[in-house]
Amino acid sequence: MSLFAELTRRKVFKVGGAYLVVAWLAVQAASIGFPAFDAPPWALRIFILVALLGFPIALVFAWAFEITPNGVRPESGARSTRAILLIAAVLTLLAFVWYFKGQPSYRAETPPRNTSANTTKPSSTDAAVVAVPISNKSIAVLPFENLSEEKANAYFATGMQDEILTRLAGIHDLKVISRTSTEQYASHPPNLKIVAEQLGVATLLEGSVQRADGKVRINLQLIDARNDSHLWAQNYDRDLKDVFAVQSDVAEKVAEALKAQLLPEESARIANVPTQNPEAYDLFLRAEYLNNQIDAATAKDPADSVRKAADLYASAIVADPDFALAYARLSYLQAEAYFTGKDPSPQAINAAQDAATHALALQPNLPQAHLAMGYVHYWGHLDYAAALAEFAIARAGLPDANVIAAMAYVHRRQGKLLQAVSEFEQAAALDPRNTKLPGDVGSTLMELRRYAEAVAACDRALALAPDSIDAQVYRATALRMRGDLEGTSRSLASIPANYDPQGSASLARFDLALVMRQPDAALAAIAKAPTWLLDNKSNVLIPAMLLRGQALARKGETGPARAAFLAAQKVLQGSPREQPGIQSNLADVYAGLGQTDAALAAARRAADLLPLSRDMVGGVFYLTRLAKIEAQVGETESALNHIEQLLAIPAGREVSTASLRTDPAWDPLRKDARFQKLLEEHANDDKAAHP
């Protein structure tokens, strides 16, 4: 008898078809029923695996057995029925071993799809984000869903998330992830386990907010992401004036659910009500929404957003003159605008100091007020000791990533680079999806001339956000200072040519083009750049016309170069003259115009305004620019003295032996015997930290 006929006689086809129909129906029912009963994801997989394994087993049984009036009996023609059953059992066992031990990649959860703007893009390095055991007392507050009919109320939902997160962050016994990392996710991501692993936490707080007619409904649930179990859930229906009671209650209930210890002072901070005025609080939340966009560099017009946010904070203060938190946040906004050049006027930093002083007078123990005053000292006055004292007080009451990073920035300015790296890493543990922090690690390692490690740190940032301009520019700078010009070019080529709001990528392309002796490429790099370009190594703004003049001078086009230098001079002379950045830019202008004495005076003034003893980061920048001016105008010995000084200190973002060999600014020194000797003596400096 043929095999087909024998299979038909033994009803193998009928049994197989019937099994597939029944198995398909069972899997469909399980896919609906398992989630309804909160079954873990692996339970459904096991069910499907068993169903699949059952198919060949059913076929084996159909071949080996027959149904008779006297019951199920072995087929008369079947050989070694026991052997067949043994083989089926072994196959089943091997399948389960394969599933549980041999296929970890199959058992891994599928990363969440990028179904919304705030869902993060998974990367190949996500599995390595968490390198330490995850504490049971760790939590991330996901963005709250805005269920209000008016979508303009998104600021209110975001404000509720921020306020609850801030209260939780003040509990010393909890690890709380910063908003910068959580805002990249959807309100209800499809795969909580992967999200928790990426953030390095055990639990996630999900929520939704609905606001209408003076009422607010807040739904919250605390989930253990490791097993998808609910630890706590609560619905709140309150008047708007009672939202602070909700925020305090949530913080206490979460702490209780996670068995976190609450100190008396922490309980007092959690219960603190920043204002009794609902109108003032609403204005404050609107201002916070804009301020967050400014910090995240997502504001379409940063300067306009600063003005609007400041007006909203001021209106909140008018509505409630005792609103200390509004004063503190206004102070931070104004100090940041002063430091980044959005509002470089002395009035801005003076207003920031006044606001921080008001906040502390109203509420001496407010962590945000001490943080704001610390930034006034740091950004406004470069008083690092005073800044660190304020940051330490803020950290005691609010140990979040922003405060730790603030201390790292100050320690870097003080030249305590290894301490700064350690603090940046601590901050990154609380803000693991923040691309800025790995970039800060990279830029700090660059100062130490540990270029390979700096590139690796930037690569970590780019794994999180491939379109990060800062990380790409830092990476390119590290490669250029190491002497890898081809790698620099490839790194800069990955940045979209039509998106460079701060001009830092254009400046990096300009610098590379000059190093490669390509003045036309330098001109092309800044052709569509903004009027002012940001040097993100030192936070200095450089006028595009100054760069144009330098490129034209390299081409030998004296007349157009002079016109560009004069245009840059006109722009600079309208700025505050006692800022080191302005003086340094003017020095380059005067050098381009052939005004040697004026160039030297301005460059020396810039270095005097921000010496190494006051600021290692800015001091290195201005000392390097002074040395370049000296080399250009013939002050050879002084230039060589400064180069020797720079090679002896952590100044790797500005000076390396590779940059000394390639940067055209040092061309006038090339044949000098002392210059050549310095290159020989420090030949291995750039290779000390990498193969």
CATH number at residue 234: 3.40.50.10070
- Boundary of a domain, candidates 361, 377, 398: 398
Prediction pTM value: 0.76
Q: Radius of gyration (Cα) for the chain, nearest Å? A: 32
Domain check: are 256 and 299 in the same one? no
Domain check: are 249 and 134 in the same one? yes
Question: Please, are residues 653 and 442 in contact by the beta-carbon 8 Å criterion?
Answer: no
Q: What type of residue sits at position 341?
A: G
What is the pLDDT confidence band of residue 97, given thresholds at 50, 70 and 90? low
- pLDDT of 68: 62
Q: Which of 2-6, 100-104, 631-635 has the lowest mean pLDDT?
A: 100-104
Q: Which of 30-39, 216-225, 248-257, 541-550 has the lowest mean pLDDT?
A: 30-39
Token pair 């920048």: residue = 621
Whole-angstrom distance, CA of residue 437 vs CA of residue 591: 37
What is the pLDDT confidence band of residue 24, given thresholds at 50, 70 and 90? confident
**Residue range 606-633: mean pLDDT, rounded:** 95
Domain check: are 392 and 336 in the same one? yes
Q: Which of 49-63, 442-456, 559-573, 578-592 has the lowest mean pLDDT?
A: 49-63
- pLDDT of 17: 80
Whole-angstrom distance, CA of residue 487 vs CA of residue 458: 14
- pLDDT of 99: 52
> pLDDT tens digits for 503-547?
999 999 999 999 999 999 999 999 999 999 988 777 788 999 999
Residue at 325 is within a domain: yes
Residue at 26 is within a domain: yes
Residue at 218 is within a domain: yes
Domain check: are 243 and 290 in the same one? no
Whole-angstrom distance, CA of residue 651 vs CA of residue 642: 12
Residue at 363 is within a domain: yes
The residue with greater pLDDT, 66 or 345, is 345
Domain check: are 248 and 304 in the same one? no
Residue 309: strand pairing partners = none
Domain check: are 240 and 343 in the same one? no
Average per-residue pLDDT for the chain: 86
Residues 6+ apart with CB under 8 A from 153: 146, 209, 211
Whole-angstrom distance, CA of residue 581 vs CA of residue 531: 15
Q: Identify the H or E element spanning 67.
A: strand 65-68
**Residue 511: both structure tokens together:** 């610098």
- Check whether 122 has a pLDDT greater than 60: no
- Check whether 88 has a pLDDT greater than 90: no
| Total of domains in the chain | 3
- pLDDT of 150: 77
- pLDDT of 48: 74
Percentage with pLDDT > 90 across the chain: 66
> pLDDT tens digits for 356-414?
999 999 999 999 999 999 999 999 999 999 999 999 999 999 989 999 999 999 999 99
Whole-angstrom distance, CA of residue 562 vs CA of residue 260: 67
The residue with greater pLDDT, 125 or 60, is 60
Percentage with pLDDT > 70 across the chain: 85
- Check whether 130 has a pLDDT greater than 50: no
What is the pLDDT confidence band of residue 303, given thresholds at 50, 70 and 90? confident
Cα 485 vs. chain centroid, distance in angstroms? Answer: 27
- pLDDT of 20: 80
Token pair 């459904």: residue = 44
Residues 6+ apart with CB under 8 A from 139: 168, 174, 175, 176, 177, 201, 202, 203, 204, 205, 222, 254, 258
Domain check: are 291 and 259 in the same one? no
Three-class SS of residue 529? coil
Residue at 93 is within a domain: yes
The residue with greater pLDDT, 25 or 99, is 25
Q: How are beta strands 229-239 and 65-68 bridged, if at all?
A: unpaired
Domain check: are 375 and 288 in the same one? yes
What is the pLDDT confidence band of residue 43, given thresholds at 50, 70 and 90? low
- pLDDT of 62: 72
- Boundary of a domain, candidates 369, 398, 427: 398
CATH number of 324's domain = 1.25.40.10
Residue at 226 is within a domain: yes
**Domain coverage including residue 250:** 130-263
Domain check: are 152 and 246 in the same one? yes
- pLDDT of 119: 38
Three-class SS of residue 542? strand
Q: For the stretch 202-241, what's the b/e string if a residue is b when 16 or more beta carbons lie within 10 angstroms of its beta carbon? A: bbbbbbbbbbeeeebebbbbbbbbbeeeebbeeebeeeee
**CA within 13 Å, CB half, 212:** 8
Residue at 63 is within a domain: yes
- pLDDT of 501: 81
Q: Residue 443's closest CA among 516, 468, 432?
A: 468
Whole-angstrom distance, CA of residue 390 vs CA of residue 401: 16
Whole-angstrom distance, CA of residue 259 vs CA of residue 173: 9
Whole-angstrom distance, CA of residue 583 vs CA of residue 572: 9
Q: Residue 436's closest CA among 489, 474, 398?
A: 474
- pLDDT of 117: 34
Domain check: are 17 and 63 in the same one? yes
- pLDDT of 111: 34
Domain check: are 79 and 141 in the same one? no
CA dihedral 680, 681, 683, 688 (to 10 degrees): 170
- pLDDT of 120: 39
The residue with greater pLDDT, 343 or 525, is 525
Strands (DSSP E) contained in 133-278 are 138-141, 145-146, 175-176, 203-212, 215-224, 229-239
Residue 138: strand pairing partners = 175
The residue with greater pLDDT, 42 or 655, is 655
Whole-angstrom distance, CA of residue 640 vs CA of residue 189: 58
- pLDDT of 352: 97
Domain check: are 150 and 87 in the same one? no
**Residue 368: both structure tokens together:** 């945000």
- Boundary of a domain, candidates 263, 288, 315: 263
Question: Please, are residues 532 and 302 in contact by the beta-carbon 8 Å criterion?
Answer: no
Count of other CB atoms within 10 angstroms of residue 30: 16
Residue at 81 is within a domain: yes
